A = this chain, B = another copy of it.
Amino acid sequence: MEALLIIVLIAGILSIIMALLFAKMVMKEDPGNEKMVEVSGYIEEGAKTFIKVQYKVLALFVGGLSILMLFLMNPGQLSVPHMIAYIIGAVGSMWAGWLGMIVGVRANTRAAQACTKGVKEGFDVSFFGGAVMGLAVVGVALIGVSIIYWVTLDAGVVLGFSFGASSVALFAKCGGGIYTKTADVGADLVGKAEYDLPEDDPRNPAAIADNVGDNVGDIAGMGSDLFDSYVASIVASMMLASAATIAAELLLTNQVLFIVLPVLLSGIGLFASLLGIFYIKKKTTEDPGKSLNAGTYMATIIFAGLAAIMIAICTALTASPVEQLLLWKCYGASIAGLFSGVLIGFIGDYFTNERYAPTRNMAESAQEGHAVVVLSGFAYGLMSVVPPALGIVVAMVIAFSLAGVFGVSMAAVGMLAIVGTIVANDAYGPICDNARGIAEQGDLGEDVIRTADKLDSAGNTAKAITKGFAIGAANLTVLALLYSFIEETGIVGAVIDLLNVKVLIGAFIGVVVPALFSALLVLAVQRNAAKMVIEIRRQFEENPKILTGEEAADFNKCIEIATKGSLRELIIPSIISIAIPLSIGIFFGALSLGAFLAGAILSGFVFAIFMSNSGGAWDNAKKFIEDGNLGGKGTETHKAAITGDTVGDPFKDTAGPSINTLLVVMSLTASIFLGLIMVFNGGAGLLIF
């Protein structure tokens, strides 16, 4: 049965090959004029500097945790395979992130140059640049999971791989998120608000740092975040299928088939993603936003078709009619998950797109001043949590009634199956954003900038959907991880009962953690942006020739502030995400830890959706006004809208999306260190009361 994994392995290798081919294709494009190459070079250098420093810190973190895992994962024995898998997961994710980012930063100047030819040309370069990241993520994940399981036949070891991916995501997503907003907010506060410079103006000392931020935060960060969720969803399903209780409940005779099933479905998803990518390429029209979304829908439909064929083949591999039926039920669960992901994306679009009422109302409320647009975005953001929550609930009801908790994990797998397309669409955005900046800085003229703007705005449309997708998928994944944790603890007899005060305490602390985490990240951005503001002001004041364009600003100083600051600010959040679940487990026990995770998952969902959507809507409300509505640029209304956008920046690009990572890291920490937790009063915790 495990031999089926060879198909997945081949698919993974194919994916990496395609990624490298796409990368080569992009590199062959014309990088544009000298100035553009120079700017692009600065961005590449800045991004590399950040990633290198980050990876050094990460090496320490991963090194430390791997030693912890080796000795404490199963106290009394050495967990060598788990440790190795952990390191492979971390290195794999780092490699995929590095590749995606390097291609991204090189694609931007080429995309800018291609924009001189037209929308379609610009789109192709940006999109293929982004697709490299999407395919690299899926390829590394599938190769890692299939080989590790094939070699060890132990889903628990694959869990180590997943934890490695998570550790990287924590740094890449949070660190990158802080970086990108430090630069963006700093650049806006001084450049735009005080000196009336346009976006991406080369005179702004933080302009390059801002561009670097797009790459490290939105490409490398987002990629590693989805890598993390993707692997975790597969592993959670494998763990559940491996659990004896689940096998008994589902009457499995052919357990391995169901352990392998999530990997197979994800492999099928890769093909669907690839076809989706080619569909987008073929269908590129004058409305690139539509093409991107059409590609997502196409991948969804193709997945539904291909997965049905695969399930039909699988039914031939078992003689048990119960299992044959169950295979189809798992199919149903995964499709329910996928469709609910698309639905959540749609809703995100509704709440953040200026074509619909909420963002329109927000833009209008900017006429009443700064405070009102903030309040309005806050309220709509909170409101936008309701429909996705119902979407998740419906997916859960369907999945659970089909195949119990295993069904829920299959829904997560289904939702993440087309992650290749999602990451590709997502990484497309920052490339266009950078291309626009380079076109501006390379003096390519208004027409080219307008073309780049069009591509950029398509990226924003796509992003609304991919972000909702990412959050929904992460949420279903951590729910599956929670189930897997509960099964693993063997506390199915001793249920997580809310009447138990330890359970309630766990849930209470769990609910608070995402709020604390968001607060720390927002403060981190605010603190760093303040330093950036001081630096930019200093440069303008000390050297008036920067503003006249006669002398270049000192970009490196700004890059340094963003780099150092974002890594320093990471220390507390990363400690929290490991230390709090461990402490809960050690002091209050495994039951309490389960409730802690549940509380964190639920409130994390609320905060993630709220922050992402309110931030996106403020951004688009501002753009709506900048397009000439409600008085247009320069008015008081516009200024109020900029306030909204600035508030939303760390919401949507730092805190909101980082919560996913937090949830996955905490869930995996619980599962990985369960052996350690069980040492304390047999998992009942040190505190007995």
Contacts and interface: CB of A to CB of B under 8 A. Distances in A.
A602 B383 contact: no
B519 A380 contact: yes
A407 to B, nearest CB: 9
A595 B193 CA distance: 48
B501 A405 contact: yes
Interface in A361-387: 365, 368-372, 374-376, 378-383, 385-386
Contact of A374 (B372, B492, B497, B643): B643
Contacts of A512: 385-386, 389, 606
B603 A522 contact: no
A530 interface: yes
A382 B505 contact: no
Contacts of A378: 519, 522, 647
A353 to B, nearest CB: 19
Contact of A499 (B492, B501, B516): B492
Given A374-B647, A381-B519, A497-B497, 19 more contacts: A368-B533, A369-B643, A370-B370, A370-B643, A371-B645, A371-B646, A375-B526, A376-B523, A379-B526, A383-B519, A386-B512, A386-B515, A389-B508, A405-B499, A482-B498, A492-B499, A498-B598, A508-B605, A515-B606
Contacts of A598: 498, 504, 507
Given A393-B509, A516-B383, A603-B511, A372 B189 contact: yes
Contacts of A495: 495, 497-499
B689 A368 contact: no
A509 B391 CA distance: 11
A365 B193 CA distance: 16
A58 B109 CA distance: 65
Please state the number of chain copies in the assembly. 2
A251 to B, nearest CB: 18
A643 B639 CA distance: 13
A397 interface: yes
Given A499-B496, A504-B479, A516 B385 contact: yes
A63 B605 CA distance: 38
A285 B2 CA distance: 82
Nearest to A534: B368
A687 B516 CA distance: 36
A533 B525 CA distance: 34
A392 interface: yes
A664 interface: no
A257 interface: no
A497 B496 contact: yes
B397 A689 contact: yes
Contacts of A499: 405, 483, 486, 492, 495-496
Interface of A: 185, 189, 193, 365, 368-372, 374-376, 378-383, 385-386, 389, 392-393, 396-397, 400-401, 405, 408, 479, 482-483, 486, 492, 495-499, 501, 504-505, 507-509, 511-512, 515-516, 518-520, 522-523, 525-526, 529-530, 533, 594-595, 598-599, 602-603, 605-606, 610, 642-647, 650, 687, 689
Q: Is the interface of A mostly helix, strand, loop or mixed?
A: helix
A69 to B, nearest CB: 27
**CB-CB nearest 7 A-B residue pairs:** A371-B646, A382-B519, A401-B689, A495-B497, A400-B501, A511-B602, A379-B522
A659 to B, nearest CB: 12
Nearest to A388: B512
A645 B385 CA distance: 25
A492 to B, nearest CB: 7
A530 to B, nearest CB: 6
Contact of A498 (B595, B606, B643, B647): B595
Contacts of A642: 371
A599 to B, nearest CB: 6
Given A368-B530, A375-B650, A397-B501, A382 B496 contact: no
A322 to B, nearest CB: 19
A643 B371 contact: yes
Contacts of A389: 508-509, 511-512
Contacts of A595: 498
Q: Residue among A378, A401, A610 with the most chain B CB within 10 A?
A: A378
Nearest to A606: B515
A523 B374 CA distance: 11
Contacts of A386: 512, 515-516
Contacts of A405: 499, 501
B511 A511 contact: yes
B375 A508 contact: no
Nearest to A188: B371
A174 to B, nearest CB: 15
A358 B404 CA distance: 47
A594 B599 CA distance: 15
12 contacts: A189-B372, A374-B374, A376-B526, A378-B647, A379-B523, A383-B516, A389-B509, A400-B501, A495-B497, A496-B498, A498-B595, A511-B511
Given A396-B505, A501-B405, A508-B602, A375 B522 contact: yes
Contacts of A533: 368
Contacts of A504: 396, 479, 598
Nearest to A518: B382
A566 to B, nearest CB: 16
Contact of A508 (B393, B501, B526): B393
Nearest to A496: B498
Nearest to A378: B522
A608 to B, nearest CB: 12
B519 A379 contact: yes
B511 A369 contact: no
Contacts of A519: 378-383
